[in-house]
Amino acid sequence: MNITTRFFNTASVVSGLLLMSMAMTTLLYAGGDKYSPRITSMGRSFTASSRGLDAVGMNPANLALNDRDATITINVVPLGLSIGSDMLNLEIYNKFFTGEEQLNPVTGKMERVGKELSDKDKTEILDLFPGGIARTQFTTELAPIGLSVQAGDFGFALVPSIQMVVNQDMPKGYLEFLLNGFAPEGSTYDLSGTAINASAVAEVNFSAAYMLPFSTPDIDEVTIGFGAKYLIGIGYVITDKYTSSISNTPLVITQVPGQSLTTLNANFDFLQFTAIPDMDSPEPVGTGMGFDVGISAFLFNSVRFGASVTDIGSITWDKQTKAVIGSANLTIEGIAETAAQESLKTAFKGRTIDTTGFTFDLPTAMHMGVAVQLDDVFDVLPFRWMVAADMHLGFNEVAGNTKLAQYSLGMELDPLAGWLPLRTGILVGGRERFAWSLGFGIHLANTFDLDFATQSIAIITNPNSFRTGSFTMGMRLRL
């Protein structure tokens, strides 16, 4: 076996191990606002603009505000689904990974063959990892039913729901290795920052709001709200730390003709906590409590201001709890050998041990926003037109949250007096980085609402480079 063959065999073996381990992790663990079409279609601009059931878990203070004159509102199986990744890029896939047409000199026919990547091509592919990390997120939420009641200056709501969130961070070291392999002159690939954070939680949220008997010429309709939620943990995974790298020493020619020697160095130091139910006798693996607080006020007879802090609290996972520990420093010669492959595979997966229960914070976040009903400010507008802007800031990096600030701008137009509201919005920052949303509703006699939304209109406008896909729908009865 010559040097080139051994080199590529070595690269293929390690690539396979890395991909297999990543796939196993994803499959193991991959198995609000997302179910509100109005919030989704307005780019998550909800802090000042949400009303009724849309305010639950967002800004409970808005429950005390008029929700299209409804006394009782009932949600009927709203559903939201969102998935996004820095690595979702159809343009890059078609350009580099589907091959290219070449003439076969033997058959005289055009055939598709693999494309040889240049250094420029590899750089373009690696640009999918902004900041060195490719972020992937998946969220789905389902609320079987929800009820809100408005009575005078008070508003109340009760909403049960199920939420599943997966956040995965993948350093570009993985892709650098797959593109370049082990260089004969030696190479190092940093895998630090790898993370999988996932949770599946059922909750029951009771929220209440009250309009204070307070008013000045410039401040009116001041409301305060509070929400309490009981949480039932279905499953949980969190990466506490992950530091890792792989490297090889320069290729050395041995005394045996056609053979060479390279040494692989691998370092792993990681810790994960999991609470996964036993499928033979499934039962909740965690419980907790969470709280939301909010305030809202109408300022200068034109601007609605809102602020809230959501998901204050924690959940304790105390059943089926495991710790996955990785701690290894390996030096391997002859990676093509079976024993060496098994050593690397074992180090990459770590060891799983039973552990005591653990408690982690909920995805606590602060929200601030304003909303303006433009047709109340400018009488010349012939229809209802509302514009809202928000800022969202998470306090931690647990599943479903991020410390990366998000800014949103949304609007709702109502050209047909309530029958067909049209909505759009943009979201900048966070894990999504950029999302353009669109949605509409079909409202019948202010009694039945059917609403649809997507946070990924780029699928239509620029299908080759979209990074996020989402769909949300909901039905609502008003009495």
What the chain holds in terms of domains, given with CATH numbers, is 3-89+128-478 (2.40.160)
DSSP 270: E
CA distance 146 to 296: 22
> How far lies 384's CA from each of 41, 181, 381, in Å?
17, 59, 8
This prediction's pTM: 0.78
- Longest CA pairwise span in the chain (Å): 93
- With both helix axes pointing from N to C terminus, report the angle between 173-180 and 119-126 in degrees, rounded to the nearest 10: 160
pLDDT digits (tens, 9 = 90+) for 166-203: 988 999 999 899 888 888 888 999 999 999 989 999 99
CA distance 292 to 176: 43
Beta pairing class for 100-103 and 406-414: unpaired
pLDDT for 255: 57
Burial class (CB in 10 A: 0-12, 13-18, 19+), 107: exposed
pLDDT for 109: 82
Do 158 and 146 form a contact (C-beta atoms < 8 A)?
Answer: yes
Backbone angles phi, psi at 280, to 5 degrees: -75, -35
**How many residues belong to the chain?**
479
- Kindly give the parts of the chain with pLDDT less than 70: 1-35, 88, 251-261, 334-338, 458-467
Q: Which residues of 281-291 are buried (b: 16+ CB within 10 A; e: fewer)?
A: eeebbbebebb
Contacts of 389 (CB under 8 A, 6+ apart): 45, 369, 370, 371, 407, 408, 409, 410
Per-residue tokens: 3: 């040097």
